[in-house]
Amino acid sequence: MVHESEAIEALKRALRRLPGIGPKAAQRIAFHLLGRDRAAARDIARALEQAVARVGHCQVCNNFSETEMCTICASPRRATGLLCVVESPADLVSLEQSGAFSGTYFVLMGRLSPLEGIGPEQIGIPRLENLLEGGAVREVILATNATVEGEATAHYISEIAHRRGLLATRIAYGVPVGGELEYIDRGTLAKAFSGRREA
């Protein structure tokens, strides 16, 4: 058995906690940073420290934010009657880049997944209900992914909207079922938005 530095082992263990990083990739990254790019290693460490210390969640939409209210929620130019529900901050970024939407968002930070123990509480449903309670929202646009769990989450939220007499719509994916919003191109995303149907 190869005997390695405890610090290198700790670094590899830490890297393996990243999504999609297995033992080989963790080792490659660790050796690269230590062997060839220590400046990058220090930059990454510093950026991580700062992001973890500064970034919290917007008290309104739940997206990442350094302030209590994010810039989208605080903007007077956003249409407050339209609320778009997405699974992740990455999905929000994709929609913003498509330019298809000028309303406000709610970011679930996940999707319902009973098998993984992720229920309504874990995806911020009580906060979403508070937001709907406010009375400004007229239409809830369900932009969760076209996966089984994404569809189940959309259905669950549409029932909440219906109980409050609000219109719920589902974006029309021009992609096969299983498509994840983050990877859909801007044009398709804009079409999916304009072609949304009542849910």
> What b-and-e string marks burial along 183-197, b requiring 16 or more CB atoms within 10 Å of the CB?
ebeeeebbbbbeebe
Query: Distance between CA 106 and CA 72 in Å, rounded?
Result: 11
| Nearest distance in Å: CB 30, Zn ion | 36
CA distance linking residue 79 with residue 108, whole number of Å: 20
Least distance (Å) between residue 107 CB and Zn ion: 8
Is there binding between residue 83 and Zn ion (CB under 5 A)?
Answer: no
Among residues 89 and 174, whose Cβ is nearest to Zn ion? 89
- State the amino acid at position 155 in one-letter form: H
- Minimum distance from residue 171 beta carbon to Zn ion (Å): 20
- Comparing CB distances to Zn ion, the nearer of 94 and 173 is 94
CA distance 47 to 43: 6
* 35-74 residues near Zn ion, rule: CB under 5 A: 58, 60-61, 70, 73
Q: Which residues bind Zn ion (CB under 5 A)?
A: 58, 60-61, 70, 73
